[in-house]
Structure formats: C-alpha cells, structure tokens
Amino acid sequence: MKHIVTEKQRGTMGKVLRYIRRYWGYLGCSVVLAAVIVGLTLYLPIATGQAIDCILGKCAVDFAGIFVILKRMAVIIALTAAAQWVMNACNNKITYNVIRDVRRDAFEKIEHLPLKYIDAHSYGEVVSRVIADVDQFADGLLMGFTQFFTGVLTIFVTLLFMLSINVKITAAVVVITPVSLLVASFIAKRTFSMFQLQSETRGEQTALIEEMVGGQKVVQAFAHEEEALAQFDAINARLQKYSLRAIFFSSLTNPCTRFVNSLVYAVVGVVGAIAAISGGISVGQLASLLSYANQYTKPFNEISGVITELQNALACAARVLELIEEEPEPAEDGDARELSRADGRVGLSHVSFSYTPEQHLIEDFNLSVQPGWRVAIVGPTGCGKTTLINLLMRFYDVNEGVIRISGIPMKELTRKSLRSNFGMVLQETWLRSGTIRENIAMGKPEAAEEEVVAAAKAAHAHSFIKRLPDGYDTVITEDGGSLSQGQKQLLCIARVMLCLPPMLILDEATSSIDTRTELKIQNAFAKMMQGRTSFIVAHRLSTIREADVILVMKDGTVIEQGKHEELLEKNGFYAKLYNSQFVQS
C-alpha cells in the first residue's frame, strides 16, 4: 500500500511540475533570490560574532569596529527584505498562474467530456474538484514555493558556515540530522492516503449540499428534511474522522522534529562551550555557532509543515488531474465535414444503442424522415424517447448502425455544425446568469435588438419581459431567480425562435405553460415548424394529432408508426395510450 501511494504521489507531482515548467523564468528567479536571501541571512550571525569579539574586556570596547559592523548589518537586512518581497511576488505569480491553467484545463475538459461522464457524476462532486480541491492545492503549492527552497538552501549553506568555524561541532550536528529526516519521512508516508480520503469525502459532502439546495422545494414538500439531515450527518461524521486522522498524524511531524532539533542545539551548546573554555573558539564564534544551530534546525520544522501541506495539496491535485485526464468525446475525423444548412432529411439505419452493455435499450431501429415532416415520438416512460433525441444531437454515439443527416453519416460531420442545425427546447429549462437579452441571444449573440424582441413576441414572452424592472436588461441568475417555470420555458422557446434552425426538437416544450398560453405557443410552433423537420416528444397525445408521422415506442423499439387517425383505427398500443387520457378515474 505504501508503495502504491508513493507511486501515485510521484505521478501527481510529475504532472504538477509540467504545469510549473511553463513558468521556469519566475521559478529560476525565485531560486536565485532564495539563495541570495539565505546567504545574506546566514552572514548575520558571523557579523554578530564579530561584534561580540569587539568587546575585548572591561572598559575595552572597539566602538568604531562595532559601528562599521552595524552599518553592514543594516544594509544586509534591507537587501534581504527587498529580495524576500520580490521572491514572494515570483512565487505568487507561479502559483496563481498554475492554478489558473489547471482550472482552465479542467473547465475545458468538462466542456468536451462525453455526456455519460456528466450523467455518472454528481454536479456538486465535479464542482468540488474544480473549486475546493484547486484552492487546497493552491495553498500547499504557495507554501511549498515560499518555504521549501529557502529551507533546503538554509540547511546546506548553514553547514558550510559552521564548517568554516569548527569542523568537529559541525560533524556532531550532521550525525544527529538523519534522525529528524527519518521521523518526518515516517509520518509523511502515512498522511497522503488520509488527506486523499478527506478530499474525496469533502467532494461527496459538496455534492449532497448542492443537491439538497437545488431541490429544497421537493425536500420540504415530501418532508424529507430529517432523512437529508441524517445523510449529511453521516457524511460529515466520516469527514470528521478522516480529517482528525489526517491532522493528527500531520501534527506529529512538527513536535517530533522540534524535539530532535533541540538535541542539535544542546549538542552545539555543550560541545561549543567546552571548545570555548579550552580556547578552541572565541566567545563570538560560539555565539555564531549557537545562532547557526537555530538557523539549521528551523528549516526542518518549516519543511515538515510544508510536507504536511504538500500531502494535502497532492491529494487534491490528484483529484482534479483525474478529471483533466478523463477521456474526452471521441475525436472527430480530420476530414469531418461542415453541415452548413441541413435539408431536413434524417435517416436511422439498423441503429442499436444502450447506456450499459448489460441493459439493452434501442435495437435495430430504422427510420426515414423527409424534409418538413413533423415526427412525434410517444410511448411509456423509459421506452427510449429521450435517448433517441440524445442520439440525434450526438450527445451519445450509436453502438451499431448509422444515422444520416441530409444523406451524410453523422460521424462524418463536425459536432458543432450538426448541433447548430437543431433547435432544442427541453422540458427542463436552462438559463445562464446574465440579462434576459443575453439568454435569448445565446445561440445568436450578434442578433440585433429588433430580432430579439421579435423572437420574444413570437414566443409570447415579450409582455412579461416588459413588466420586469429593467425589461430585456433585467439580470437573472442561472435558475431564473423569481421567474416562474412557465416564464423560464418561454425564454427557452424564444431562444430557438431567434435562431430558426432547419430542424427542431421539442421535448415536452410546453409542459410548464398554462393552457391559454400553450394554445398561443402551439400556433407559434406551427408557424415555426413550417418547412422544418421537427421531432416532438409528447406525453399529452392531444398535442400531436397534426404530426406527419407518429412513432410509438416501447422498450426501445418502434412498434407502431403512422398518422393519428391510422393508429387509432388499428386499435393497438397507441389507441390504448390515447384513450387512457380520457378515462375517468
């Protein structure tokens, strides 16, 4: 297990270093400045020792020599402070550039992930990786740059200064040093896996909070508060357990290394005092050695703290890097064609698809749609209606068979050009943070004001928009703020009205709209669908009587096909579905 953890840490660190390598200029500057700071800082004990040695005896003090040394020390302190400020600026630049790059790559990967990944992971867990984990990673990385370089350099340069004063005392210090390193290494190996569990559980907690806040109305409507609280408490208890273990083991590092470092100081004090009494070194040199003993041991305490933070940072980095390295959507062929404007022909030939290998959904599905047709898709829940829409939009690729748009196999078209030829209105509304105008013009940002207003009027949204505080400039949140579900749906319909693509997908598009407005929208849709191929998913069968063809699906297969009257005459599955709407309970 230890070996596996170590390998994972190495792999994560290597990936992090590839991000850091982009800013080698700042990194080199930071290392050089760290060396300058360490050199200047460690010269101060020598100057202090020289000043002490200027006190020759009672009433015999070399004030002129002390004054010269003090001036030199003042210049050194000023230079050290300036170098420290510049080094911190470089470290901040590296850290936040790396964090920006990681977040950008993570967000870009989310944009190109296949829909099956998003469906398989909770939104809160994905958000936790990009926000919380990256923040934790930033804290550890910044501490590492700020203290690690200077700490390591301080250790080696201090030994050189101590050697220049007394070899025997330096040798005694070197003999004790490995004990501190062994203690820090022993504890650090056991903290990474605990911080990883802490990070994963934190993501699970974020996912639950996001889910509960987003569905608070449903939670309260079904009196699910106690169950939700119990679920949160269970996750919180696990997070507490993992966090306490991680913090407990990581907190042992500092006191353990401090104990060993105190031994170093004691050895220098005793051996140095004996050497000073015997005349081997001066009192000033003894003072310098004691100061160096402190300078030498201090980085071990700092580095042990850095190692603890790095364990947490690497655990968080591993999670976000896993997201970045997820397999994206299958790449498009290099010679993929642009579909400028589809003619409305859609063909599905022997299409088979399933979300999981063990559960078959659509098998050997065939369909030929002519330009301008209104194709209604009906059937019981789980029969494959929405799955068919996902395949048409190429959110998922078929397992077998081929889908053709305007006679061209879908896989030979670019996804962007394919999707731009479809206008889609779903039962679930989606709005972005921004103004009403920006939401309507999402698919056509260059649209003029008159076009946006015309689309809103066509969708019967103009009247309620004008009643808003700032009209089309009213800012709404991603969930629509105070807008009703019906008003949000009207904005989504207006968005499609503005683009008017050659093919339309309407998945229960009017389910959240009152009957009076629905009649107006149906008229607007009828006008919009003229000359356009339309796929209409509907549960209320009364809304699809005018469809050119109705596909009746069951268990992923089209079991009936035809016009409304034809299907009723057959008195089959469709007739049962249709008549069931009018049965009095």
Secondary structure of 188-244 in HEC code, one letter for each residue: HCCCHHHHHHHHHHHHHHHHHHHHHHHCHHHHHHCCCHHHHHHHHHHHHHHHHHHHH
Q: Give yes or no for residue 584 having a pLDDT over 60.
A: no
Domain co-membership, 313 together with 357: no
Of 40-44, 178-182, 382-386, the poorest mean pLDDT is in 178-182
- pLDDT for 120: 74
Distance of CA 181 to the CA centre of its chain: 35
* pLDDT for residue 3: 39
Backbone angles phi, psi at 182, to 5 degrees: -65, -40
Does the pLDDT at position 534 exceed 50? yes
Residue 584 vs residue 285, higher pLDDT: 285
What residue has token string 């060993």? 260
Select from 270, 294, 324 the last residue of a domain: 324
Query: Is residue 36 over pLDDT 50?
Result: yes
**pLDDT, tens digit, for every residue of 188-198?**
666 767 777 88
Query: How high is the pLDDT of residue 4?
Result: 37
Residue 451 has pLDDT above 60, yes or no: yes
Pairing status of strand 533-537 against strand 374-378: parallel
> How many domains is the chain built from?
2
Taking 70 as the threshold, does the pLDDT of residue 52 lie above it?
yes
Is residue 330 included in any domain, yes or no? no
Range with lowest mean pLDDT among 196-200, 401-405, 503-507: 196-200
User: Residue 2: what pLDDT?
Assistant: 42
The pLDDT of residue 78: 92
**Structure confidence by residue, pLDDT tens digits, 60-91:** 677 787 888 888 888 988 998 998 899 888 88
What percent of the chain clears pLDDT 90, i.e. is strictly above it?
1
pLDDT of residue 310 exceeding 80, the answer is no
Measured CA to CA, the distance from residue 581 to residue 560 in angstroms comes to: 19
Last residue of a domain, one of 293, 324, 355: 324
What tokens does 429 get? 């509304």
- Which ranges constitute the DSSP H helices of 393-446? 415-420, 436-440
pLDDT at 180: 67
Instruction: Indicate if 310 and 406 belong to the same structural domain.
Output: no
Residue 336 forms part of a structural domain = no
Calculate the alpha carbon distances from 86 to 36, 162, 299, 422, 506 in Å. 12, 28, 20, 54, 59
Q: What percent of the chain has pLDDT over 70?
A: 86
Residue 582 has a pLDDT of 61
Q: Which range marks the domain in which residue 417 is found? A: 346-580
Q: Is the same domain home to 251 and 121?
A: yes
Q: Are residues 320 and 377 in the same domain?
A: no
Is 339 among the domain residues? no
Q: Which residues, listed in sequence order, are joined to residue 475 by a DSSP beta bridge?
A: 435
Q: pLDDT confidence of 217, banded at 50, 70, 90?
A: low
318 and 377 part of one domain: no
Confidence of residue 513 (pLDDT cuts 50, 70, 90): low
Helices within 399-448 (DSSP H only): 415-420, 436-440
Residue 256 lies in a domain: yes
**Does the pLDDT at position 531 exceed 60?**
yes
Kindly state the helix (H) or strand (E) to which residue 124 belongs, with its residue range: helix 123-128
Please tell me whether residues 132 and 196 are part of one structural domain. Answer: yes
Burial 394-403 (b: 16+ CB within 10 A, else e): bbbebeebeb
State whether 17 and 152 are in the same domain: yes
Do 185 and 55 fall within a single domain?
yes
Which position has the token pair 């469709």? 574
Q: Is the pLDDT of residue 344 over 60?
A: yes
In a domain, 585, yes or no: no
pLDDT of residue 82: 92
Same domain, 411 and 524: yes
Q: For position 84, which CATH number holds?
A: 1.20.1560.10
The distance from CA 552 to its chain's CA centroid, rounded to whole angstroms, is 41
Pair 39, 102 in one domain: yes
Query: Is there a domain that residue 337 lies in?
Result: no
Q: Please give the pLDDT value at position 58.
A: 66
266, 292, 324 — which closes off a domain? Answer: 324
293 & 359 share domain: no
Residue, of 234 and 61, whose pLDDT is higher: 234
State mean pLDDT over 404-413: 88
User: What pLDDT score does 168 carry?
Assistant: 79
> 133 and 316 in contact (C-beta within 8 Å)?
yes
The verdict on residue 285 lying in a domain is yes
Domain membership flag for residue 183? yes
pLDDT attached to residue 583:
56
Say if residue 5's pLDDT is above 50.
Answer: no
Asked if residue 102 has pLDDT above 60, the reply is yes
pLDDT confidence of residue 181: 67
Mean pLDDT estimate for the chain: 79
> Looking at residue 483, which CATH number applies to its domain?
3.40.50.300
Report the pLDDT averaged over residues 9-21.
80
Asked if residue 369 and residue 307 are part of one domain, the reply reads no
